[in-house]
Structure 1
Amino acid sequence: MRILIAPDKFKGTLSAREVCDAIAAGLRDVSPAVKIDIVPMADGGEGTAEVIGQALDASWIKCKAHDPLGREIEARYAWVDARKVAVMEMSEAAGMRRLKPTELNPEVATTFGVGEMLLDAAKRGAREIIIGLGGSATNDGGFGMACSLGFHFLKKGPHKLESKMHSSVFEIASIEKPANLKLPQIVAAVDVKNPLLGENGATRVFGPQKGATPEQLDKLEAALTNLANVVAGQFGFDYRNEPGAGAAGGLGFGLMSFCGAKIRPGFQVVGEAVGLEAKMKDVDVVITGEGSLDRQTLEGKTPAGVGRLARKLGKRVFAFVGRATQDRQVREMFDGVYQNERAGMSTEENMKRAAELLQDNARQLAKNLK
């Protein structure tokens, strides 16, 4: 029997590779002769650069950038020299992981550092940049990124806006494009389909996770609405309703509007990079998973992508997760769901013992497959 293990990370607990290793160890405990193929996965969220970088034998490049509050940092991205492809994550410069919980404030957080990373890759001679949009601390529609790329934003007067922070977005009246900006093709990998605005948009859905108070939500929405209106009026195109425009606090919209980027489902981008379909064709059983299996899984998350591909190829597929919904539509994607959650076990202990619990679940699956 040949088994393919292709999970995403368990956020805050295990990397995708560590999940693979734990499951493989459990399978071999029961079936030492089983053939196992390991393919760590991601869907555009955090971990995307690492997964693609490992698959394409990339090196890591460091560059100077600024964090969401404008502090200088050292950011890194994967570089595939043979193809001149840069693979990066917006969260490396503008992610929540760069801030303490008390520092979260999407009214001031900026994507300025993302633009700095894009420019560094462009100057290095990149022919393509893949950027994962997940884990953002920002809600500026790519305004900060555009500032670092050389776009000038003017308020009525006209006077140039001095601030690169989100709080300036509401004042924008016109935009001046940089004269000599040269960027390669940019692919933005996303794991959500949200538009920029509205009840399902960047602000209403994701703003509270980034520290936005109920009072701030209306201001944040008004600022992004103003940005979208000015862009549409001046540039003659309007991406506010494109699926994924609301990803990473509207950075999807910003990348399309200011960089000509293409928005693609992150699972597809990663799957192509790692050769997932070709590797799946030769196996009997597929195992996928991530920290949580719920309704959001259906919106482009790794387990759903792997599950659908496995079904298309006629493979049995199982999900290994931290916790799982009882939602029938979600669970029916898999031949079985194994969860780490145990009665009487706290969430803290569950996360601490994640690798051990995955290994135990893998032993159980191996016995069931015999």
Structure 2
Amino acid sequence: MRVLVAPGAFGDTLSASAAGEAIASGWARTSPGDMVDVVPMAGAAQGFVEALHASCGGDRLEVDARGPFGGPVRGVVLLLDDAGLRTAYVDSASVCGPDGEARRAPENASTAGVGDLVAAAIEAGAARVVVGLGAGVATDGGAGMLGALGARADVPLDAGPAGLVGVATVDLDAVRARLGHTELVVATDVASPLLGLFGAVRADGPGKGLDEAAVARVDRVLDAYVVAVCGGEPARRRIADLPGAGAGGGLGFALLALGASVQPGVATVADRVGLATAARVSDLVLTGTGAYDVTSREGTVVFGVASVAGDALRPCVVLADRVEVGARERRAMGVEAAYAIADLDGAERFASGPAEALAGLAARVARTWSPL
């Protein structure tokens, strides 16, 4: 029997690679004769570059970048040869992710570090830059990124939405000259616009520490910022309404303003690692996630892997910390069965940490699904 193991990260507990190794080792305890292929997966939100590097190799370029509040952080750009095209993959969450100051000063958080990574990718000779827009603490419409790439404005671009108060002009000529013929791609699992009731600020702002008054204030500031970037005519500012413009705290908007195309994050990783081919030569597809619940829909690793398995006419099984999806919902997602670490007894669950618990669950699942 040939088994494809394609999990995502288990929150902050296990990376996709570590989860894949744990599942494979547990499966081998029960069915050592099975052939197990491990293909770590990710969407744009978590582990984007790590999953690609694990499966595809490539050159990891470490970059000194700015964190959301200006402090130094270490970011990574992954350089791969994609059919003769040197492509750089950037994980925005790696430089815009959780920060101790975030909830105290969310209106000062900036995306400048993403611009530092994109600039490094261009200097490394990338003809194509794919930016994975994951969750971060900034909601500045990508202004910080634009500033880091050379944009000029009549207000500071690297001081978060608070710094954009009163913005009237944003000049992108220097950014476009720096990009030259470099192709930009937005990889995102979020289809929200930048502004309005379903926009980045109202949907994600409260989770980043913006209270009701701050949400309204930041939305107004970003509305003026859109006019400064695009112009006031409705047709020109329509970029802010496109699906994905609100991703990454509005990074999607800034990249779209530079002519970027948009593609789903999970599909981006799946295509690059050859997930469909691996599924077709397998008898069973396993995936995994921290919580398999009602949020595990389109745009998540579980949904993406299950879709690929379904196209290949292969059963898909989910392993998770906990499972909160009923049989009907599960089958609607293309998942044949789901198993939870939470269902193991206490000794198995906590004896040797999360990796060992996941391996133990995989060993149990193999008794059901492998011919042994």
Q: What's the offset of the Cα at 1:344?
A: 8.9
1:181 aligns with 178
In 2, distance between residues paired with 1:225 and 1:163? Answer: 15
2:317 is matched by which residue type in structure 1? F
Would you say 1:285 and 2:287 are equivalent positions? no
1:177 is matched by which residue type in structure 2? L
Runs of 4+ with deviation above 6 angstroms: 349-352
In 2, distance between residues paired with 1:151 and 1:102? Answer: 25
Q: What's the offset of the Cα at 1:45?
A: 1.6
2:179 is matched by which residue type in structure 1? K
My pick for the range that moved more, 203-212 or 242-251, is 203-212
Kindly tell me: are residues 149 and 33 of structure 1, through their superposed partners in 2, closer, same or farther at Cα, counting changes over 3 Å?
same
Would you say 1:171 and 2:198 are equivalent positions? no
2:335 aligns with 334
My pick for the range that moved more, 174-183 or 22-31, is 174-183
1:89 aligns with 91
Task: Tell me the number of residue pairs that the alignment of Structure 1 and Structure 2 aligns.
Answer: 359
1:22 aligns with 22
1:157 aligns with none
My pick for the range that moved more, 126-135 or 72-81, is 72-81
Aligned to 1:296, the other structure's residue is in SS state coil
| Structure 1, gaps ≥5 residues long | 154-159
TM-score (norm 1): 0.90
In 2, distance between residues paired with 1:93 and 1:266? Answer: 18
1:315 is matched by which residue type in structure 2? R
Aligned to 1:79, the other structure's residue is in SS state strand
1:317 is matched by which residue type in structure 2? C
Q: What's the offset of the Cα at 1:25?
A: 1.4
1:309 aligns with 308
Would you say 1:240 and 2:240 are equivalent positions? yes
In 2, distance between residues paired with 1:162 and 1:229? Answer: 16
| Structure 2, gaps ≥5 residues long | none
1:217 aligns with 215
Give yes or no for contact 1:104–1:210 (8 Å, CA) kept in 2: no
In 2, distance between residues paired with 1:327 and 1:60? Answer: 41
Q: What's the offset of the Cα at 1:314?
A: 0.9
RMSD: 2.3
In 2, distance between residues paired with 1:222 and 1:91? Answer: 25
Give yes or no for contact 1:231–1:238 (8 Å, CA) kept in 2: no
Aligned to 1:306, the other structure's residue is in SS state helix
1:286-313 Cα distance to aligned partner (Å, 9 max, x none) = 0012112223221310100111111121
1:86 is matched by which residue type in structure 2? A
Q: How does 1:184-199 map to 2 (within 5 A)?
A: 184-199=182-197
1:260 aligns with 259
Would you say 1:161 and 2:155 are equivalent positions? yes
Kindly tell me: are residues 330 and 204 of structure 1, through their superposed partners in 2, closer, same or farther at Cα, counting changes over 3 Å?
farther
Kindly tell me: are residues 41 and 163 of structure 1, through their superposed partners in 2, closer, same or farther at Cα, counting changes over 3 Å?
closer
Q: What's the offset of the Cα at 1:87?
A: 1.2
Q: What's the offset of the Cα at 1:104?
A: 5.2
1:179-208 Cα distance to aligned partner (Å, 9 max, x none) = 433251121211222221233221122112
1:199-225 Cα distance to aligned partner (Å, 9 max, x none) = 322112211222222331111222222
Kindly tell me: are residues 268 and 335 of structure 1, through their superposed partners in 2, closer, same or farther at Cα, counting changes over 3 Å?
same
Q: What's the offset of the Cα at 1:38?
A: 0.7
TM-score (norm 2): 0.89
In 2, distance between residues paired with 1:217 and 1:295? Answer: 27
1:178 is matched by which residue type in structure 2? D
In 1, distance between residues paired with 2:325 and 2:56? Answer: 37
Aligned to 2:8, the other structure's residue is in SS state coil
In 1, distance between residues paired with 2:367 and 2:186? Answer: 41
Q: What's the offset of the Cα at 1:170?
A: 3.4
In 2, distance between residues paired with 1:53 and 1:203? Answer: 32
1:339 is matched by which residue type in structure 2? A
In 2, distance between residues paired with 1:68 and 1:329? Answer: 42
Kindly tell me: are residues 205 and 25 of structure 1, through their superposed partners in 2, closer, same or farther at Cα, counting changes over 3 Å?
same
Aligned to 1:299, the other structure's residue is in SS state coil
In 2, distance between residues paired with 1:327 and 1:29? Answer: 29
1:106 is matched by which residue type in structure 2? P
1:88 is matched by which residue type in structure 2? V
Give yes or no for contact 1:140–1:249 (8 Å, CA) kept in 2: yes
Kindly tell me: are residues 319 and 351 of structure 1, through their superposed partners in 2, closer, same or farther at Cα, counting changes over 3 Å?
farther
Q: What's the offset of the Cα at 1:328?
A: 5.2
Aligned to 2:185, the other structure's residue is in SS state strand
Would you say 1:122 and 2:122 are equivalent positions? yes
